[in-house]
Structure 1
Amino acid sequence: MSNSRLSYTDGSPLPGDGLVQISRASLIRLKRWGGDLPLRAIRVRSGSSGAYLTRLKGRGMEFDEARPYQAGDEIRNIDWRITARTGQPYSKLFREEKERVVTLWVDYRAPMYFATQGRFKSVLASEAAAMIAWSAHKLGDRLGGLLFSEQGHLELRPRNDVRTTLRLIALLAEYSQKTPPASLPEQRREAAGSALLRINRVTRPGSLVCLISDFRDLDTRTENHLTSLARHNDLILVRLFDPLEAELPRAGWYTVSDGRRFVAIDSADRARRLAHREHYLAQRARLEQICRRHGIHLFQCATNDDLPGILKNSLGRQVH
């Protein structure tokens, strides 16, 4: 396994820190990188202290109350639930939101604990989430998270305080250090589907939701969840992949390992190499199409890429 372009292992006793797992101390050190990330949050140039002009689909406002419909009210602000219950049209009133909610959805299913070059996808996921968390903390946003695997999920309710940020950082490190049991494809798809359904249910309209995964098992259910989530929120997808997942190496026998199990791969079959490549390209194209269709911001990073540079440069291009 090759060395990363960046080292986060200074003085850390954790074996393989920054490669196959990552320590809390290493994620805390990412504060200097995360603080520079532009999360598409532009301060309002008005007298309204602390508000955001975010370009979010949720209008940067939060629900205040409902009142009977009046001439001139926007149709999109009708509260259909109260209208149906009372038989009279009601409109939602909003007040300016002083804080934005930033929610991290991080994938720790078994295939994330893998790399043939650079660092495990699970390590990159923890690093990406930590950098975004530090950026949200610096901007004064409310930070929350949902971390999941085949064994279930863990939620962190959005709060605006350093304790929440540090708690999330600790969880990101803890999850990266787990030993995932073997799982079936059906279990992995069900875990992702359930986690997407949950994030849809708990996310407030107007939030910034960052989904970090390899998105290998993208299917119609996943697409429907992403479409629903993107309808009222700003979405950032960080797609992680290993070079071997993109293309099999030249003909020969290769042994790959996730640090715990070993698998032998025969890449001598040209048809197999082409099928492998075509499947990868089709899945990537499908995800890119979904993101273009729904205005989702997609960033893609290989396990041997410069993650901080990709996030900083790509987010910067999205803002301008």
Structure 2
Amino acid sequence: MIPEELIKRIRQIQIYTSRAVDASFAGQYESVFKGRGMQFDEVREYMPGDEIRTIDWNVTARTGRPFIKRFVEEREMTVLFAVDLSASGEFGTVSKLKNELAAEFCAVLAFAAAKNNDKVGLLIFTDRVELFIPPKKGSRHILRLIRELLGFTMPKRRTNIPLALDYIARVVRKRATVFLVSDFIETDFKKPLSLLNKRHDVIAVPVRDRVEIAMPAVGLIEVQDAETGQIMLVDTSSKRFRAQYGDHSSRRFSELKNTLRSINVDLIPIATDKPYINDLIQFFHMRHRRH
């Protein structure tokens, strides 16, 4: 039995994301995420102007007349959301938690994929693989993915990104577009991500809260690391502390961007204090220009 509150949240996200997809980027999604190859369509008789290299020599030899192979772009693609729902995602100081933002972001793209008749799958991970739903088509399947994302509960766990990447490499055989959604607290993932990106099109989605970017001056506060349980007392009224905090945050994010750039992995940074639709549209424009 699904709790009524969860049903309400799923319905709200369904309404919001459906409108966002229709109004903002359904066409852009289709133009950017094209099929990843060509598939055989038919053999037909050669006509003047056809490419000689497309001639099917076997059929030509059997019939005594030149025939060519015709190929069409393979439109159907596979989308996989690999979502980090470890304890550090249960944080947010604006309108939603990071994990809620991650779920909503995935829902928007999942509905766009469904409108494009693509297969969509889901991997939820922490420091272990919590749930894997193989890629399938259909709106009911999409709603199940959203329900699993929103309703996921677990003991406080840490993050293991390499484990999730290795799992994807083992179970997803057909080339896919993989959205890796995480706050990227862990940093030791460059090698497995680089290997996975050679077989699939991996896009990193860093999820952040504004307090993780810049600490406000709110006096003496107690902060706790959600994944380790470590507690610290900090004086946020100190300009020196806030400056060091901001520098550290900026440096870590720059390191993440540099790591991703070095292995040709694109990123879509999203934050709990601003709409992510603009970030998605900007990403689509960037991909479209590159293609």
Identify the TM-score tier after normalising by the shorter chain.
0.7 to 0.9
3-state SS, counterpart of residue 269 of structure 2: strand
Larger RCO: 1 or 2 (CA < 8 Å, sep 6+): 1
Aligned identity (percent) is 27
Matched, 1:28 2:17: no
Matched, 1:132 2:109: yes
Matched, 1:113 2:102: no
CA distance in 2, matches of 1:228, 1:241: 26
- 1:60 deviation in Å? 2.3
Please, which of 119, 129, 146 is the counterpart of residue 123 of structure 2? 146
- 1:101 deviation in Å? 0.6
Matched residue type, 2:256? L
CA distance in 2, matches of 1:269, 1:181: 35
The structure-2 alpha-carbon separation of the partners of 1:313 and 1:22, relative to structure 1 and needing over 3 Å to count, comes to: farther
- Taking structure 2 as the reference length, the TM-score comes to 0.74
The Cα offsets for residues 244-265 of structure 1, whole Å up to 9 and x where unpaired, read as 111222372246799xx99864
The structure-2 alpha-carbon separation of the partners of 1:215 and 1:22, relative to structure 1 and needing over 3 Å to count, comes to: farther
- Taking structure 1 as the reference length, the TM-score comes to 0.68
CA distance in 2, matches of 1:270, 1:246: 15
- 1:111 deviation in Å? 0.6
- 1:295 deviation in Å? 2.8
3-state SS, counterpart of residue 268 of structure 2: strand
CA distance in 2, matches of 1:281, 1:22: 37
Gaps of at least 5 residues in structure 2 are: 40-52, 54-70
3-state SS, counterpart of residue 91 of structure 2: coil
Match of 1:233 in 2: 200
The Cα offsets for residues 139-188 of structure 1, whole Å up to 9 and x where unpaired, read as 1111111012346420111112223212112112212xx3x5344xxxx2
Matched residue type, 2:96? R
Matched, 1:276 2:253: no
The structure-2 alpha-carbon separation of the partners of 1:41 and 1:232, relative to structure 1 and needing over 3 Å to count, comes to: farther
8 Å CA contact 1:124–1:303 kept in 2: the answer is yes
* Structure holding more helix per residue: 2
3-state SS, counterpart of residue 295 of structure 1: coil
8 Å CA contact 1:102–1:141 kept in 2: the answer is yes
CA distance in 2, matches of 1:205, 1:151: 23
Gaps of at least 5 residues in structure 1 are: 1-11, 44-51, 63-71, 73-93
3-state SS, counterpart of residue 155 of structure 1: strand
Aligned residues: 252
CA distance in 2, matches of 1:228, 1:61: 24
Match of 2:66 in 1: none
C-alpha RMSD of matched pairs (Å): 3.4
